[in-house]
Amino acid sequence: MAVAGGWIGGVGHASSLANDPDTDALGDPGPAGLSYASPRVSRAMTIPPAAPAAESPAERVSTPVDGVDVLGAISPSRAGDFMACPLMYRFRTIDRLPEQPSPDAARGTLVHKVLEDLFDLPALDRTPERAGDMLEPTWQALLAAEPELEEMFGESGPDVTAWLASCRTVLDRYFDLEDPRRLEPADRELYVEALLDSKLLLRGFVDRVDVAPDGRIRIVDYKSGKSPGEGYEAKALFQMKFYALVIWRLRGVVPSVLQLVYLGNGEILRYEPDEDDLRATERKVEAVWAAITRAQETGDWQPSPSRLCDWCSFHEFCPTKGGTIPPLPERTTPAVDASVDESSD
Ligand code: SF4
């Protein structure tokens, strides 16, 4: 299906710029449904927040998991954790072990937040210069909310000035890919949840939702890292299909385009899902949940060593790294807690 037409945002808030024909050309996703786009001016963008947990929309509005009406809840990040390494999932979600702040993750959070706030500005003010000016104060606000981020720097970590410069580089790259002056996203950092027939709750935060005048929906996600190589897109697209499934369940409309904006190397990955795609995603999520439940019942959370281990904070507890697995915490209700992940990557 070829995609054309304007992607405007904020139902009822579309600006004249958003209706500019130039703005409407969505690139060409191509008939295969999957496409990459290198630097080109497209449209919209979104951002994840660094709000304290107590202010999280998930805290305020998410459906409680009571083990009866809702058997469990899962986000795409946590599903991805389990698929990558069940033991890591356990440490992160069941044990809730603390993790060291990472400069890469913090860069993602900071850049996402700047982009979010950028869209609060009048359209014509959304320039690279204004975005760059917002980096330092936004970083200070993040630090105030999460003082432990300071631990990333110092003797063994990067120099904070150099790190901020790297954030600026990533942020600047955004403007090679999209022109925020021509966009009015319908939603940014949108909390979504949908209950499947199995009573499994799917939930998470969507970076940005664009809505065209004819009602077509585009889901956009920002990645501060590089795009996956050819043939390795499935993992990245799983998250997007997960969100598309939730939106489909919520609004009765299959999103037309899933768009991943890779700020690490300036590429855009687009995919056009259909109902079969999303049904397959639903089956996959159900299968992941069944495997998580089995692990919970048996206590068997297998490690799965991979390149991901290089970024794992749990080496001291992982037998594949010479560590010792701690005892499981006392079981609480519901049977399995899958927290909503709000991190930015
Ligand atoms: S170190 Fe590797 S195998 Fe061990 S928990 Fe972390 S990701 Fe899993």
CA–centroid distance, residue 147 to ligand 1 (Å): 27
**53 SS3 class:** helix
Q: What is the pLDDT of residue 51?
A: 40
Residue ranges of E strands in the chain: 34-37, 72-74, 187-195, 200-211, 217-223, 257-262, 267-271
Strand 34-37 vs strand 257-262: parallel, antiparallel, or unpaired? unpaired
Is the pLDDT assigned to residue 21 strictly greater than 70?
no
Does the Cβ of 253 fall within 6 Å of ligand 1?
no
Can you read off the two tokens belonging to residue 19? 């209706």
Q: What is the pLDDT of residue 296?
A: 92
Is the pLDDT assigned to residue 310 strictly greater than 50?
yes
Region of residue 9 (left: phi > 0; alpha: psi -120 to 50; beta: else):
beta
Which residue has tokens 């499947």? 196
Q: What does the pLDDT look like over 75-134, one tens digit per residue?
A: 999 999 999 999 999 999 999 999 988 899 999 999 999 998 999 999 999 999 999 999
CA dist list (Å): 293 to 106, 112, 298, 301: 31, 33, 9, 11
Is the pLDDT assigned to residue 35 strictly greater than 60?
no
Is the pLDDT assigned to residue 23 strictly greater than 70?
no
Q: What is the pLDDT of residue 306?
A: 95
Can you read off the two tokens belonging to residue 155? 């003797």
CA–centroid distance, residue 308 to ligand 1 (Å): 7
Q: What does the pLDDT look like over 138-195, one tens digit per residue?
A: 999 999 999 989 888 877 778 899 999 999 999 999 999 999 999 999 999 999 999 9
**201 SS3 class:** strand
| Residue 55 confidence class, pLDDT cut points 50, 70, 90 | low
Query: In this structure, which amino acid lies at residue 9?
Result: G
Residue ranges of E strands in 77-229: 187-195, 200-211, 217-223
Can you read off the two tokens belonging to residue 333? 């209700």
Q: What does the pLDDT look like over 172-186, one tens digit per residue?
A: 999 999 999 999 999
Does the Cβ of 321 fall within 6 Å of ligand 1?
yes
Q: For a substitution probing ligand 1, which of 81, 90, 95, 320 has the most ligand atoms within 8 Å of its CB?
A: 320
Rounded-to-integer distance, Cα 69 and Cα 195, Å:
10
Q: What does the pLDDT look like over 65-78, one tens digit per residue?
A: 888 889 999 999 99
Q: What does the pLDDT look like over 90-107, one tens digit per residue?
A: 999 999 999 988 899 999
Q: What is the pLDDT of residue 221?
A: 94
Is the pLDDT assigned to residue 46 strictly greater than 50?
no
Ligand 1 atom closest to 85 (CA)? 8
Query: Residue 30: which residues within 8 A CB-CB, separation 6 or more?
Result: none
Q: What does the pLDDT look like over 211-258, one tens digit per residue?
A: 999 999 999 999 999 999 888 888 889 999 999 999 999 999 999 999
Can you read off the two tokens belonging to residue 9? 């945002």
Nearest-CA residue for atom 3 of ligand 1: 305
CA dist list (Å): 53 to 111, 112, 158: 19, 17, 27
Mean pLDDT estimate for the chain: 82
Rounded-to-integer distance, Cα 73 and Cα 70, Å:
8
Is the pLDDT assigned to residue 47 strictly greater than 50?
no
Q: For a substitution probing ligand 1, which of 95, 304, 310 has the most ligand atoms within 8 Å of its CB?
A: 304
Does the Cβ of 304 fall within 6 Å of ligand 1?
yes
CA–centroid distance, residue 314 to ligand 1 (Å): 7
Region of residue 189 (left: phi > 0; alpha: psi -120 to 50; beta: else):
left
CA dist list (Å): 194 to 80, 92, 93, 257: 18, 23, 20, 20
- How many CA atoms within 13 Å lie on the side-chain side of 236? 25
Nearest-CA residue for atom 7 of ligand 1: 309
What's CA 205's distance to the chain center, in Å?
7
DSSP letter, residue 62: S
Q: What is the pLDDT of residue 196?
A: 95
Rounded-to-integer distance, Cα 336 and Cα 184, Å:
38
Neighbouring-strand partners of residue 210: 218
Q: What is the pLDDT of residue 211?
A: 95
Is the pLDDT assigned to residue 337 strictly greater than 50?
no
Does the Cβ of 312 fall within 6 Å of ligand 1?
yes
Is the pLDDT assigned to residue 42 strictly greater than 90?
no
Ligand 1 atom closest to 309 (CA)? 2
Q: Name which residue leads in pLDDT, 62 or 86.
A: 86
